[in-house]
Structure 1
Amino acid sequence: MCEVEESGCQDLKREEPASRIGQTCMKCKEASAVLIIRVGDAFCRSCFREYFVHKFRAMLGKNRVVFPGEKVLLSYSGGASSSAMIQQVQEGLSRDASKKLRFIPGILFIDEGAVCGQTWEDRERVMLEMKSILKATSFPFHILSLEQIFSLSGSVLQGNLPEVPGREENYKQAVGSFLGQQREQEEDGISDATERLAQIHTADNTSAECSQSPTFIRPPAEHTTALRDMINSARTLTAKQELLHSLRSHLILHVARTLGYSKVMSGESCTRLAVRLLSNISLGRGAFLALDTGFADNRYRDVVIVRPMREYSLKEISFYNRLFNVSSVFIPALDTKASNSSIQLLSESFITKLQADFPSTVSTVYRTSEKLHVSRTDATLQQSQRERCLLCMCTLDTHTGPASAFSATQVSQQLSEKKSSQRVIPAKDSGKQCCSGGQCCEETACCTNSVTGTRDMAPLLCYSCRLTVKDLNSIDKLPSYIIKEAEHRTR
């Protein structure tokens, strides 16, 4: 990581704290510094606020992904990063903002208390606290429970939806058209076009499910039990976290499509993305690093995931929330006080400890992820020929040549397994030989390996999701929309 001599590293990471006392702001050169972000980067309160706000709006303006008047769903988890993101959106939509944001926001919070074993009373207490925080934003918000994944249809896994062409070229035209509509509405006596659009959006969603509802609908007990059984069926904490991430993404995508949101803002920080980059490489997701850690994730085609907080470190976000009283809620997660470690937790521990000694660790890993892109040739091939994974909905990375490492792994696995299709089991009700010759007759009870079996579902999954499903005791505990989609694609 560091190529200088060991003595130089020791001098770098053990600076004398006395030299930092009484520093002035590096920007205004007048006020006293109240915090130091990196080595030598001292800011006063007002300059740090200006720096924080400018970085957020510059990230959106530089990438030109969110169009004026577009509906954007803010994914809120209650943590520090997503709370700071909502605060920035709220300030950017105010009247006195210098570089005003012009999209229509909505907030989504997904309750995952059933996964952590919380009682309904504890979950309801958390959701009431969330409602009081989200209601203060004056944005339309939606509070759902993770159990609703058992009510989804197979349409959420459709990955061949058309993408809007030429959006980058028409960005300036869209801005000009929006400003023209704003001037026309101001002449008609409407002071703010964005405000009017937000009012219309709020009025359209007053009857929407779970939108600003004073009470919360308790999910069916069988759905809660099924969710806990599915998560507990994973033998490792790594598989549990990956499965939970995929199911959460499916529910967010369903809400965005149902309510007409074309963009989803996620609050991952630079530190979180650096941890994800290392953990995803360990999990075999190297082909999807550009989608998992990039600014825009367009794997769903019609809904784009945007990460505007990816330039902020967790230290910067924590300082901002503390200085400007941005409230956040601590909610126990699946890995809170976990007795066994996972690949994600080990990667986080490695990054955090290395960052404590070498302050440029997170930025170095993060800058590496910025250089990752999908080549145009591969993108065209993925869009036209390849299918998409059932869980992560990325294009399959298993179409490799016979001399690849993946093919060698498959051959080794096939030789070490005893396939059930090679057995000859006599049928109970007839004189036929069932499951002989690799063909299943599907007429008797001896055919236990259906199209939803692990062996038959594997071709529908990417390499990383195959490892996740392999750690499940039974895939029958997966939501019905995944199993039905697997049957549909197999047929």
Structure 2
Amino acid sequence: MCQVDEDYSDQLEHAHLPSVSKKCVKCKEAPAAVVIRAGDAHCRACFKEFFIHKFRAVLGKHRILFPGEKVLLAVSGGPSSCSMLSQVQEGLSQNAHKKLRFSPGIVFIDEGGAVGRSAEERRRTAVQLQAVFEATGFPFHIVPLEQVLDLPGSVVTAVPSPSERPAGAYKAAVDHFIQSGGSLAAREPEEPPRPEVGGGAHTASLQQLIRSVRTLTAREDLLNTLRLHLLVHTARTEGYSKLMLGDNCTRLAVKLLSSISLGRGAQLAQDTGFSDSRFGDTILVRPMRDYSAKEVAYYNRMFQVASVFTPGLDTKTPDKASIQRLTESFVTRLQADFPSTVSTVYRTGEKLQAAGESASAAGRSSRCLLCMCSLDAATAAENASAFKATLLSERLSQAKRPGATRSALETPRGDCSSGRAEDCGSAEGGGGGGCCSPARAAETDDLKSLLCYSCRLTVKDMSSLEHLPRYIRSEAQRRQRRSQMREEISEFLLEDGD
């Protein structure tokens, strides 16, 4: 048996920590200033060259950004997105070795209204970011999240993408760009826009929407979806064909594991891949996906890359507050003891590819109403035994019976789980339009049929569907009418084989 007084100090092996006094592994001359991984020490100059080369190499490898193309940079103020902005600014400078050739713009989504920040705090953050954006010389847009409530229904429809360019189109575009002078179109000088801060009824409606979601897991998922909708709408209205996101390797590893836990396994290739064309005309690009959070932090600290902290829904929350927060804590703590954790998860997810879609499956009706990804097979198939059994069990558990309560998903005004008749709109004197009414249940089922499995879980945690933005509900009604019309004329339609 082990003894308390026994001394094991002589038998334990001490781990040899890498020393920063060793020479750089690249130039072999200058002393190392940063150790990214064990045995991978770089001096200051070599680390900067390595960091810059990785950014331009990933863009050159995929050849997705054509010369002269307008690219919108989504900057949240965090270290990774600000580092991405710094790399683009460095790549467009006159003394760049391999100069970038696209025309960038910047967008910042102010989410202060969703997290309950005051107008003064939001204005202070916007002024700080405006100073950072003005220093770059790029056109920028500061958009409050409240504008998502006024978006058109076209945001949740896949706009047909331009015809695919041939294999040699990229080289031909580069040659034409060089022959035309190799300079981007000059932008007319514009007065810097004043930071917009949402307020009033829109902020109250946004906060009511966030509060209608019971769990923090579903709140974060819904907030990410609304933010992406607003980013895509801004890119479309401003004429940008590419949207560049600042997700780094560590963030994508956490997102991959949390997405699997949330039932988004079929959408992993779109959520974590380098490029994502789910919206058709606007392609999402993640050039920072090869950088770890440690590399980004070192680079920003050594080369004074400014960043602005903006609190989110999970700020100062415990590890078990949500699935995303728990996954992040698990990955980061495991990474501290096993440095290859993030890279292993990331490389595994990098091998995932989206399944090819047929022409009929690429239509609007086959995509999720919220995340715009293709509906997974389990959701679209009617005879999937496991999924059908889950739906049947849920339907039976919510069946109305004496003394039973209904799901909070169908509660527009109150909460039936309280057991009070006045909380249910379908009780006597309630007008028959409450959560237990057949019309409300039918509306919920119709909306579920348009969502993927993960988005169904998010909507299920909402106390009322009436809090959803108008453009989502109108698009749902349009799809339902179109589906009903198709059923009515199905006898006169030819099959694909015919």
TM-score, length basis structure 2: 0.84
Which runs of structure 2 are paired with 1:446-465 in the superposition (5 Å)?
A: 446=432, 448=437, 449=439, 453-465=443-455
Match of 2:369 in 1: 390
C-alpha contact 2:59 2:287 (8 A) present in aligned 1: yes
Please give the secondary structure, in 1, of the residue aligned with 2:394: helix
Q: Which runs of 5+ in 2 are unaligned?
A: 1-10, 402-429, 482-498
Per the alignment, do residues 295 and 419 of structure 1 end up closer, same or farther by CA in structure 2, a change over 3 Å counting?
Answer: farther
The CA deviation at 1:487 is: 1.2
Cα distance in 1, alignment partners of residues 63 and 329 from structure 2: 34
Give the distance between the partners of 1:131 and 1:87, measured in 2 at CA: 15
Letter of the aligned partner of 2:214 in structure 1? R
Alpha-carbon offset, residue 181 of structure 1: 1.4
How far off is 1:401 after superposition? 5.4
Hey, what does 2:16 align to over in structure 1? Answer: 16
What SS is found at the alignment partner of 2:370?
coil
Instruction: Specify whether residues 332 and 61 from structure 1 end up closer, same or farther in structure 2 by C-alpha distance, changes over 3 A only.
Output: same
List aligned pairs for 1:30-109, cutoff 5 A. Answer: 30-109=29-108
Given that 2:274 and 2:286 are in contact with CA atoms closer than 8 Å, whether structure 1 keeps it comes out as: yes
Distance of aligned partners of 1:385 and 1:453 in 2 relative to their CA distance in 1, 3 Å threshold: closer
Aligned to 1:189: none
Change (3 A) 1:167 1:468: farther
Q: Which residue of 2 aligns with 1:402?
A: 383
Shift in CA distance, 169/476, structure 1 to aligned 2, threshold 3 Å: farther
- C-alpha deviation, 1:453, in angstroms: 3.0
Compared with structure 1, are the counterparts of its residues 392 and 403 closer, same or farther at alpha carbon in structure 2 (3 Å cutoff)?
Answer: closer
Aligned residue in 2 for 1:235: 214
- Amino acid of the structure 2 residue aligned with 1:328: S
Q: Structure 2: which amino acid aligns with 1:347?
A: T
Cα deviation per residue 1:371-408 (whole Å; 9 max; x = unaligned)?
Answer: 000233x4656315852111111111111251442222
Q: How does 1:339-418 map to 2 (within 5 A)?
A: 341-376=321-356, 378=357, 382-384=361-363, 387-397=366-376, 398-400=379-381, 402-418=383-399
Alpha-carbon shift at residue 157 of structure 1 (Å): 1.2
- The residue that corresponds to 1:146 in the other structure is 145
Work out the CA distance in 1 between the residues paired with 2:159 and 2:133: 34
**1:108 Cα deviation from its structure 2 partner:** 0.2
Deviations 1:43-91 (A, max 9, x none): 0000000000000000000001111100000000000000110000001
Among the aligned pairs, what percent are the same residue? 52
Equivalent position of 1:6 in the other structure: none
Relative to 1, partners in 2 of residues 1:86 and 1:410: Cα closer, same or farther, differing over 3 Å?
same
**Aligned residue runs from structure 1 range 475-490, under 5 A:** 475-490=465-480
Give the Cα separation in 1 of the matches to 2:98 and 2:400.
63
Q: Write the distance in 2 (CA, Å) between the matches of 1:23 and 1:359.
A: 20
- For the 8 Å contact 1:279–1:344, the answer to whether it is kept is yes
- Mean CA deviation greater in 332-341 or 306-315: 332-341
Q: 1:301 aligns with which of 268, 280, 287?
A: 280
Q: Cα–Cα, structure 1 residues 459 and 357, in superposed 2: closer, same or farther, change >3 Å?
A: same
| AA matched with 2:463 | N
Alignment counterpart, residue 472 of structure 1, candidates 462, 476, 481? 462
Contact preservation (8 Å) 1:75, 1:108 = yes
User: Does the 8 A contact of 1:74 with 1:86 survive in 2?
Assistant: yes
CA contact (8 A) 2:20 2:34 kept: no
**Structure 1 residue 452 displacement after superposition:** 8.3
1:150 is matched by which residue type in structure 2?
L
Distance in 2, matches of 1:216 and 1:98, equals 35
Report matched runs for 1:326-337 at 5 Å: 326-337=305-316
The equivalent of 2:289 in structure 1 is 310
CA contact (8 A) 2:75 2:106 kept: yes
Tell me by how many angstroms 1:488 deviates: 1.2
Q: Post-superposition, which runs of at least 4 consecutive aligned residues in structure 1 deviate over 6 A?
A: none
How far apart, CA to CA, are the structure 2 residues paired with 1:152 and 1:22? 56
1:227 Cα offset (Å): 0.5
SS of residue matched to 2:164: coil
In the TM superposition, 1:129-144 aligns within 5 A as: 129-144=128-143
Question: Which amino acid in structure 2 is aligned with residue 62 of structure 1?
Answer: K
In the TM superposition, residue 237 of structure 1 has moved relative to its aligned partner by 0.2
Question: Is this contact kept in 2: 1:64–1:171, CA < 8 A?
Answer: yes
Q: Deviations over 1:449-472 (max 9, x none)?
A: 259832221001111000000000
Distance in structure 2 (CA, Å) of the matches to 1:126 and 1:21: 37
1:425 alignment partner in structure 2: none
Verify: 1:126 aligned to 2:106, yes or no.
no
TM superposition shift of 1:419: 6.7
- State the shift of 1:413 in Å: 1.9
User: How far has the Cα of 1:162 moved from its partner?
Assistant: 3.3
3-state secondary structure, aligned to 1:318: helix
Deviation at 1:163, TM superposition (A): 3.8
**1:173 shift after superposition:** 1.3
Structure 1: gaps of 5 or more residues:
1-9, 183-191, 421-443
- Structure 2 partner of 1:441: none
C-alpha change, 1:352 and 1:217, in structure 2 (3 Å) is: closer
Change (3 A) 1:212 1:27: same
Letter in 2 for 1:16: H
Match of 1:257 in 2: 236
Letter in 2 for 1:356: A
CA-based RMSD of the aligned residues comes to 2.2
**2-structure distance, mates of 1:167, 1:259:** 27
CA distance in structure 2 between the aligned counterparts of 1:261 and 1:248, rounded to whole angstroms? 17
What is the CA–CA distance in structure 2 between the aligned matches of 1:373 and 1:274, rounded to whole Å? Answer: 16
Q: Structure 1 length normalisation: TM-score?
A: 0.85
Alpha-carbon distance in 1 for matches of 2:20, 2:172:
51
